[in-house]
Amino acid sequence: MQAAIELTPRQTARVLEQALRAHVRLEIELAARDERLAGRLLSRQDGLLLIELPDPGPAPPLTSLIGAFCDVTMILSGQRYLFATCVADYVENTLPQRLRLAVPEVVQVTNRRRFDRLRQPHPAPLQLWVTRAPRPWVGTLTSLGPAGLGGRLPRAELDDLLLIEDEVRVGFHLPSTGESFDLAAVVCFKTPTLDGQRLDVGLELCVPQPDEPTQRALERLRTALAHGYTRSRSPGESA
């Protein structure tokens, strides 16, 4: 079962920027028509996304698609994203054919549950660097997944300093593998604990333009998590 999560405007903008850099492939389902198109995202200009269609293009003339509502699916960094938009225009006399779609206001991400988020069986230290602070804050890593993590941090020092959608860096150590990680992240949520002394913070691992060491670190993390999840399953249990 897939659960769709609506991204914030800032997250939506970041995902679209990544998709543009990757010239990602799009699956376009035209509403009220039994028809699907496939295309490649080329560029963005004046509130429109330029899409290149394969040659040969769609059977109906492109003029008949103007104004059609559509649902778009794209795969980016292993995640499946969805958004609704409409065909705003087309480019004449080009091969391959090209369409222009309106830039969506909202993008959703679906959790395909390739991994479960793993609860930490023993407390593990978590370091968090905030741009406006000269030193890292130290807390506890409470859960970890391939796309994000949860941590518990001191509330008095961080409540006013740490804001939703802030970009931060996190450092943590996995006792099960002996590996350490230092990664970029974005604050997704924060909520005080019942005693009011600490903050439970949700962080999305965010690397808009990963360099080679960062990409290797993310791959190591995902491998470690997949290994830990496999070992935690009982024999014969289905995925």
Residues 57 and 128 in one domain: no
Comparing CA positions, the residue from 59, 83, 68 lying closest to residue 11 is 83
Q: What is the pLDDT of residue 234?
A: 39
Give the DSSP per-residue string, 202-233.
EEEE--SS--HHHHHHHHHHHHHHHHHHHHHS
Name the residue type at position 14: R
Do residues 168 and 186 make contact, with C-beta atoms less than 8 angstroms apart?
yes
The residue written with tokens 């691992």 in the block is: 205
Query: Of 67, 90, 111, which residue constitutes the final position of a domain?
Result: 111
56: pLDDT strictly greater than 70: no
* Assigned domain for 238 exists: no
* Section 53-63 average pLDDT: 69
Please, what is the average pLDDT of the chain? Answer: 80
Express each pLDDT in 135-144 by its tens digit: 899 999 988 8
Residues 128 and 29 in one domain: no
Q: Which residues contact 233 (CB under 8 A, 6 or more apart)?
A: 239
* Assigned domain for 86 exists: yes
Residues 125 and 203 in one domain: yes
Residues 47 and 65 in one domain: yes
Read off the pTM. 0.52
Query: Of 80, 111, 142, which residue constitutes the final position of a domain?
Result: 111
67: pLDDT strictly greater than 50: yes
* Assigned domain for 7 exists: yes
Structural domain range at position 80 = 3-111
Q: What is the pLDDT of residue 3?
A: 52
**Residue 121: alpha-carbon gap to chain centroid:** 26
Do residues 114 and 146 make contact, with C-beta atoms less than 8 angstroms apart?
yes
Do residues 218 and 205 make contact, with C-beta atoms less than 8 angstroms apart?
yes
Q: What is the pLDDT of residue 229?
A: 43
Residues 74 and 169 in one domain: no
Express each pLDDT in 2-17 by its tens digit: 456 777 788 888 889 9
* Assigned domain for 37 exists: yes
Q: What is the pLDDT of residue 93?
A: 80
B/e letters for 4-26, b = 16+ CB within 10 Å, e = fewer, are eeebeeebbebbbebbeeeebeb
79: pLDDT strictly greater than 70: yes
Residues 67 and 122 in one domain: no
Residue 24: band (very low, low, confident or very high) from pLDDT cuts 50, 70, 90: very high
For residue 175, the number of C-alpha atoms closer than 13 Å in the C-beta half-sphere is: 8
Q: What is the CATH number of the domain that holds 82?
A: 2.30.110.10
The residue written with tokens 């480019």 in the block is: 91
20: pLDDT strictly greater than 90: yes
